[in-house]
């Protein structure tokens, strides 16, 4: 177990190292291009050279990389040209906001998806199963920006029940959280529900469930005491991996509702070629993604006795 843990952590560190090198190369290997993007198309060759010289871009790439990664490890993510503040100041604020959004999404999505998945997988092929499956395919097919358009048309413009933007201008406001959360939940829950359904359906076919039913246990008890324990193991991984998906999903939703989160920051940085912010955001995103994957792996191994004791 300890060896497994160390191996997973080692692989996590290796992945992050490789990713940071790749990211650095992709964003900074072509310094000429970089200068043009930051200074604009109409900058002169001379201006670009001065800019490169001033920002230390003319030194060898490995020195720049080592300096960059060193700074980052000390919490210095560089300076945002767009917001004119240190990146770390704005990045962690935004990340906190996205974390809050993610917490709300997970708080709604996970119970909903698990319940629907269990109901569908309990009796495979029943009309309940078919309607839940169809519903989850339907909601997964509507991109976030499209469902955001639909919901704002109904609840913001037609009925006037909810605010159309979630900028939190007058401090935190629950009503502004509703639409982003609903949109993300609808798009994301289908996948978890499917995994839960598949896992449940598989468990329901196993002999020990048949035994439990045949010995006359109430159906409810068979489901809650016998089936769920095993059926919940596989979806656990999927739920944790949804954090990775959420990091992508929030970009469109935060942009649509102008929620001041991490995704909106990355997009704004990208549209304004704010290289330091893009690097910071991407590194943090990968850090979160790889970290959660490792967590999912370790958790899965721990939860599944067949792997834990082998």
Partner 1 sequence: MTEDAISAERPLPAPRRPFREAVKSIGLLRESWVASLGAGIVVFWVIVAVLAPVLAPYPPNQQIGPLKNAPPMTLAEEGRPYFTDQGMERTSGDELYILGGDNLGRDVLSRVIWGARSVLIYAPIATACAYVIGIAMGLLAGYRRGWIDDVLSRVSDIILSFPVLVLYVVIITVFGPSAINIVLAVTFASAPGIMRIVRGLVLDLRNRDYVAAAQTRGENPWYIMLVEILPNARGPLIVDACLRLGYTTITIGVLGFLGLGLPPPDPNWGNLVAENREVAQIAPYSTLFPCIAISTLVLGLNLLADGLREISMKD
Interface with partner 1 by CB under 8 A: which residues? 15, 18-19, 22-23, 26-27, 33, 133-134, 137-138, 140-146, 149-150, 152-153, 157, 164, 244-245, 247-249, 251-252, 255-256, 266-267, 270-271, 273, 278, 281-282, 285-286, 289-290, 293
Comparison of 106 and 223: residue with beta carbon closer to partner 1: 106
CA R_g for the chain: 24
Q: How far is the CB of 109 from partner 1 (least distance, A)?
A: 17
Q: How far is the CB of 157 from partner 1 (least distance, A)?
A: 5
Q: What does the alpha-carbon distance between residue 275 and residue 269 come to, in Å, rounded to a whole number?
A: 7
Comparison of 190 and 222: residue with beta carbon closer to partner 1: 190
Comparison of 154 and 221: residue with beta carbon closer to partner 1: 154
Residue the block writes with tokens 């909106």 = 264
Length of the chain: 310
Q: How far is the CB of 270 from partner 1 (least distance, A)?
A: 4
Comparison of 223 and 244: residue with beta carbon closer to partner 1: 244
Q: How far is the CB of 278 from partner 1 (least distance, A)?
A: 6
Q: How far is the CB of 40 from partner 1 (least distance, A)?
A: 14
**CA quadruple 8, 303, 122, 105: dihedral sign:** negative
Comparison of 209 and 274: residue with beta carbon closer to partner 1: 274
Please list, in sequence order, all residues whose beta carbon lies within 8 angstroms of the beta carbon of residue 35, skipping any fewer than 6 positions away.
43, 48, 49, 51, 52, 57
∠ CA 61-63-66, rounded to 5°: 110
Angle between helices 31-39 and 275-303 (to 10 degrees): 110
- Quick check: helix, strand or coil at residue 86? strand
């Amino acid at each position: 177990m300890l060896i497994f843990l160390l191996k997973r952590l080692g692989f996590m560190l290796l992945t992050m190292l490789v990713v940071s090198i790749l990211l650095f190369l992709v964003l900074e290997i072509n310094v000429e291009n970089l200068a043009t993007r930051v200074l604009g198309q109409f900058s002169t060759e001379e201006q670009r050279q001065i800019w490169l010289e001033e920002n230390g871009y003319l030194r060898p790439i490995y020195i720049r990389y080592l300096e960059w990664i060193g700074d980052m490890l000390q919490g210095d993510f560089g300076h945002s040209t767009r917001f004119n503040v240190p990146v770390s100041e704005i990045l962690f604020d935004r990340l906190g906001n996205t974390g809050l959004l993610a917490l709300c999404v997970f708080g709604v999505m996970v119970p909903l998806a698990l319940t629907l998945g269990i109901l569908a997988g309990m009796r495979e092929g029943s009309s309940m199963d078919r309607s839940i499956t169809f519903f989850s395919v339907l909601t997964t097919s509507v991109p976030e920006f499209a469902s955001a358009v639909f919901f704002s048309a109904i609840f913001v413009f037609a009925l006037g029940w909810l605010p159309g933007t979630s900028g939190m201008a007058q401090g935190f406001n629950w009503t502004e959280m509703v639409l982003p959360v609903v949109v993300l939940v609808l798009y994301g829950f289908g996948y978890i529900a499917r995994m839960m359904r598949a896992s449940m359906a598989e468990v329901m076919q196993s002999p020990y469930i048949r035994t439990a039913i045949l010995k006359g246990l109430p159906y409810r008890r068979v489901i809650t005491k016998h089936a769920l324990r095993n059926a919940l193991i596989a979806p656990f991984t999927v739920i944790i991996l949804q954090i990775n998906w959420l990091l992508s999903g929030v970009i469109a939703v935060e942009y649509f509702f102008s929620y001041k989160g991490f995704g909106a920051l990355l997009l704004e940085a990208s549209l304004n070629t704010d290289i330091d912010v893009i690097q910071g955001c991407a590194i943090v995103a990968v850090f979160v993604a790889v970290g959660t994957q490792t967590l999912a792996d370790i958790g899965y191994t721990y939860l599944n006795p067949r792997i834990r004791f082998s």
